[in-house]
A and B are shown apart, each in its own frame.
Chain A
């Protein structure tokens, strides 16, 4: 066990865990932020996606030793009171069914829009195609990303 410092949703935190503890479990168990989900633990489903220094990252594959001293943003810290354009779009388009994958989907979409404010379908695919949704909400995710970005499906096509 060792002490690690990291900034989570703007707040400095210190945790005492084994160095190889995945960031996912530090967030969920040590810090009580359960909005980030465990889906597979092997980096294959992307349910665990958070931002590490702004970059979309599968937290189940990041040991705390690699996340130390970085800025972590989780779904809880994306925006206050569901005010992010993606959150409003997700609600308007009724995207989630069971909802389990959606934290990761939204975080990846948010990282996409931060770098690519008007994404094409191809760019949405590239950003999100590693995010598995067993309920099959993919089409609604795409519509919601476009809605948040103010873009449309036919813009620049695939």
Chain B
């Protein structure tokens, strides 16, 4: 626990200390409805917690780091989408549900590590799904996997030109064994990573829709306020507010 002593603790020092000691900045919070978000619905392809592909072809990617305006909620799904081999325009981004028991790894948004720490795991997550979809396509056509490739949300059989969408293959892909070491793209083939895309968090920040901690309400919630004395060390009962806050309600 960080003590607030006479010496001010610089931000970088705090973050470094936190990472070394494993002291997490995250406080687990279970909200109603989280569990229903975590479970994939039947007929969805969800090989890991980072992506879902519906039989209608809808691609949902889950960002597991907190968006602070640093762009993590856009950058991290870009990594998944790249290896998954889908068009960025076809992707819907959502936050990973706030239930730690559903997370594949413990998530801390800290120390400028969001992209660096996610780079490999998210590439693997996307590539895993891509290879399962290709395998499903090959199995369906009864051709060799080596004759098939993924291309922008489709699996294509090169010799015959046959194509199947990820949506059409979603159910079959769910039954394919999960590859342990999927092949990752050659960076020269990147079509999403390295391009400028619109940040997915911005629209909600211009119409009042973006939710912050202070905006969250749950039934029976209590509200706590830090009570500070008017000057350092001046903590007498006489410095407390004269009355309790009034309750507000609409009639």
Which of B207, B210, B211, B215 has the largest number of chain A CB atoms within 10 A? B207
Q: Which of B202, B207, B249 contacts A35 (CB 8 A)?
A: B207
Q: What B residues does A16 contact at CB under 8 A?
A: 249-251
- Which residues of B sit under 8 angstroms from A52, Cβ to Cβ? none
A window 10-64: CB within 8 A of B: 13-18, 20-21, 25-26, 28-31, 33-38
B208 contacts A35, CB within 8 Å?
yes
User: Cβ of A38 and Cβ of B214 under 8 Å apart?
Assistant: yes
Chain A interfacial residues counted at CB < 8 A: 42
Within 8 A of A (CB), among B210-228: 210-212, 214-215
B190 to chain A, nearest CB (A): 22
Q: Which residue of B lies closest to A19 (CB)?
A: B246
CB–CB A15/B210 < 8 A: no
- A14 and B250 alpha carbons, distance in the complex (Å): 6
Taking the complex as formed, is A149 at the interface, i.e. its CB lies under 8 A from any CB of chain B? no
Q: Verify B206–A102 contact, CB threshold 8 A.
A: yes
**Which chain A residues lie closer than 8 Å to B210 at the CB level?**
99
CA distance A115 to B26 in the complex (A): 45
Task: Name the distance in Å between B72's Cβ and chain A's nearest Cβ.
Answer: 12
B202 touching A91, Cβ below 8 Å:
yes
Which of B201, B203, B208 is within 8 Å of A75, CB to CB?
B208
Residues 151-163 of B, flagged 1 when their CB comes within 8 A of A and 0 if not, give: 0000000000000
Some 13 contacts from A to B, beta carbons below 8 A apart, are A17-B248, A17-B249, A76-B207, A82-B203, A82-B207, A91-B202, A95-B202, A96-B201, A96-B205, A97-B70, A98-B68, A99-B69, A102-B206
Which are the 10 A-B pairs with shortest beta-carbon distances?
A35-B208, A97-B69, A99-B205, A18-B246, A75-B208, A98-B69, A34-B215, A96-B205, A30-B248, A90-B206
